[in-house]
Structure 1
């Protein structure tokens, strides 16, 4: 299998450019908090020959593939099986308490999308799994089988921003009374049947798209994990250290934006005539707002279309 044929890292050159000033230090340490199949890591290890990589992923298949891809870098690579809110513990396990650069490439990976049996894609029939770590946890089938109507509606509204959340929740409850919903095609059929024809004509996306997103986020606790992980990651950076985060949907991006706003804002009480050093911002933004992939990249790699990149650099230690 040629990894370059199945995985094109998103905004690769821009990530390298943004992280470069932090990684040009001797013995610099980079954390790829979402290792995936190792595309970003490989490029950064090639560009910066003195960097040590700590790669994190909850997906054991991804870690295996990344390990094969990065084997030529020898002991410059440490891979850790963990969710990225375990970043502090993962770094500590290598005997460190600081790192110089951190990269998050959020959302479902190319590997997970391309392997039909993982159940992430509504366009392919597969078991309703959706676990990024298949060694543990609740599956999407478990949620569909056990959540009440109110809880289903809640996650569809909150994590999928689905306007027909209540209608879909009722349809699932009714359908599962007839037969268990254990496969993605079964769930898709229920959602399509529950979608009014007028809505199907008006919508640009598939009726199942937002529900599948919501189930995936619930299964993997993605937003709760991210809300903890970003501040924890920023706490590992010394002055001059940099963090780059790529999000693929608005719910993720809002959390990242909020964490960056908190870190780049003064904590001085309103009305003070001057700002004490301990109230000064701890980070500065490296890009204005959320940066998009270029039109050329979006045409070449459709998975870059929804990406929103944010980046920051530490400029002051915590008080």
Structure 2
């Protein structure tokens, strides 16, 4: 099975995890095992690596690539939001570190039939987990104009969200359901004035991003999942999170700051009376960005940001 995978900010993540050779480490977005292989190189036979991914293709490839590593390896087909259940099933009470890469994998983008790309004609799908039943087809063909507008505006930060939503509804009413990625691209191009399409990224980029996020609930699971991961970290355990667009990074930054300073008292109070105590310290005051060399080697890393916290 062909599975091209270039790990983003790999060395920075390994350094950020501060790996203990006998520790328990989780990769919540296993992908092609690029980060996982490096983590396992730092673990002894007494260590335990847990890899989680929704994509069964990724799991099959990772299983093969990790077959000869030193530590115990557990590969799980799930979403990282189910961490508690996963750890319970593995009889693991707490972990020494966890990594999450919130971007969609290059493999999924490059597989035409998955429907993630506006560059290939395919059924409207965009599911990271192929066992889920809710797809991009449901988003495009079943949501109201207001709901489509909100998703495209909020998740895609698309200037022309109102017109795109309106044109989708018109297509549904006058022609019928939208079935393929190229049909959707054609609608988007008609909605965005020609002059606005001449420069900048592909006109469908932001809308496709928004629909993908909606299908996979990518943003709504971030905050509760991060809070839960911190609960499972041992004292001194590290959490590394890689984001790829501003919406993700904004949520991660907010959660990390809330964990570092959870006090809800008025700032002019002489003492804290809310009882909320600091849970983590920020290892990265500002996000770590890829080097110019990495961006040149892997252009998809350009928008990546890495934030790291340590549990007190």
How high is the TM-score relative to the length of structure 1? Answer: 0.92
Q: Show the 5 A alignment for 1:190-209.
A: 190-201=187-198, 203-209=199-205
CA RMSD across the alignment: 1.9
Deviation for aligned residue 1:297: 0.4
CA offset digits 1:54-100 (Å, max 9, x no partner): 11111122111111111223771111111111111111111112000
Partners of 2:80 and 2:47 in 1: how far apart? 20
Counterpart of 1:290 in structure 2 is 287
Q: Show the 5 A alignment for 1:13-162.
A: 13-20=11-18, 23-24=19-20, 27-49=22-44, 50-73=46-69, 76-162=72-158
Q: Is the 8 A contact 1:267 1:279 kept in 2?
A: yes
Q: Where in structure 2 are there 5+ consecutive unaligned residues?
A: none
Name which of 4, 7, 10 aligns with 1:9: 7
Partners of 1:233 and 1:38 in 2: how far apart? 20
Deviation for aligned residue 1:128: 0.9
Partners of 2:170 and 2:189 in 1: how far apart? 14
CA offset digits 1:80-130 (Å, max 9, x no partner): 111111111111111112000100011211110111110101111111100
Q: Give the match's secondary structure for 1:239.
A: strand
Q: Could you say which structure has the higher helix fraction?
A: 1
Counterpart of 2:256 in structure 1 is 260
Partners of 1:165 and 1:242 in 2: how far apart? 39
Q: Give the match's secondary structure for 2:239.
A: strand
Q: Is the 8 A contact 1:268 1:280 kept in 2?
A: no
Q: Where in structure 1 are there 5+ consecutive unaligned residues?
A: none
Tell me the matched-pair count: 309
Q: Give the match's secondary structure for 1:73.
A: coil
Sort the Cα spacing of 1:151 and 1:51 in 2 relative to 1 into closer, same or farther, 3 A: same
Q: Give the match's secondary structure for 2:221.
A: helix
Q: Give the match's secondary structure for 1:43.
A: helix
Counterpart of 1:307 in structure 2 is 304
Partners of 2:65 and 2:298 in 1: how far apart? 21
Partners of 1:266 and 1:180 in 2: how far apart? 47
Q: Give the match's secondary structure for 1:291.
A: coil
Partners of 1:268 and 1:152 in 2: how far apart? 35
Deviation for aligned residue 1:235: 1.1
How high is the TM-score relative to the length of structure 2? Answer: 0.94
Partners of 1:140 and 1:75 in 2: how far apart? 39
Establish whether residue 168 from structure 1 lines up as the match of residue 164 from structure 2: yes
Deviation for aligned residue 1:24: 1.5
Q: Show the 5 A alignment for 1:220-239.
A: 220-239=216-235
